[in-house]
Structure formats: C-alpha cells, structure tokens
Amino acid sequence: MPVKFQDIATAFEFANTNGDMGEFRAFVCKQTGKIYYQTDFIDAAEFNDELPDDIEDEDKYIPLPDKRELDLGKPLVLAFVREFLRDDLDDVRYFFSKRGAYPKFKSLLARRGAIDRWHAYENEARKRALRDWCTLHAIEIID
C-alpha cells in the first residue's frame, strides 16, 4: 500500500489539530493506502469522508498518531534546548513543569532569535518520526 509522504504529513497535522481529544482523527487503510479524515466540526465538512463502518478495526485501518506518541512534544523541546540554548535549559524545564509552557517557550525563542531554527528542527524531527512510524506499520512511502 504505497502512500505519498505528503499525504501522511497532512493527515498527521490534521489529527494533531488543537481541540478536544477525538475531534480530529485520520486513518490509513492498510490495504489501499487511502487516508480517511474524521472530525465532529461542521465547518470542516470537506474532511468528513464517508467512513467505513469498520474504521475502528486496527487490522484494517491505522489511526495517525498523536505527536506525543512520537516524542514530538516536551522531549523534542528539551532536546532542542540542550543543543541550541543550553543556558536556558533550567528555565525551559521550569516552563514545562506547569501549564502554558509553549507560549513561554515561544517567547524565549523570540528573545533568542531562534524561532526559525526551532521550526527547522521541529520539521526535521517530525519527518523522521513519521517515516519511522510508517516503517513500523509497514506503510510504504513514496515521495
């Protein structure tokens, strides 16, 4: 079942849209490679495919992971800070010990002039993690 990497990346972004758990989901059909989108929001109706009745059957469909499942949340931030903003590591750890960490982290990035570097780092990590996830689930990627 070959799938374009960009389609996987788009489905991953959709499934990780900020919202309550379960409001945005995407699935890959193991047999065909077709990606199905599911959302409860009416204004996102263009993503609401007619879902197969057995979409929850993990033998047939693989749900796209949450970014935390791929260590693309706090662990990635800390790895970035260790590599590029070593002097700020204690502050960032403190940010992430409480709610509202990302706005504080983004503010620190702005003060350090590191926003572009962070986005590049995050994008590369996401690509690697998604490719690894596809390999783990025997999803053949075509670019």
The tens digit of pLDDT for each residue in 110-125 reads 999 999 999 999 999 9
Query: Which segments within 18-80 are labelled E, that is strand?
Result: 24-29, 35-39, 61-63
- Asked which of 16-25, 78-87, 88-97, 105-114 is least confident by mean pLDDT, the reply is 16-25
The tens digit of pLDDT for each residue in 39-83 reads 876 554 455 568 899 999 989 999 999 999 999 999 999 999 999
- The domains of the chain are located at 2-64, 70-123
Question: Using alpha carbons only, how large is the chain's radius of gyration in Å?
Answer: 17
Kindly tell me if the per-residue pLDDT of 93 is higher than 70: yes
Q: What is the pTM of this model?
A: 0.83
Mean pLDDT, residues 2-6 = 94
- CA separation (Å) from 44 to 40, 76, 115, 136? 8, 30, 30, 30
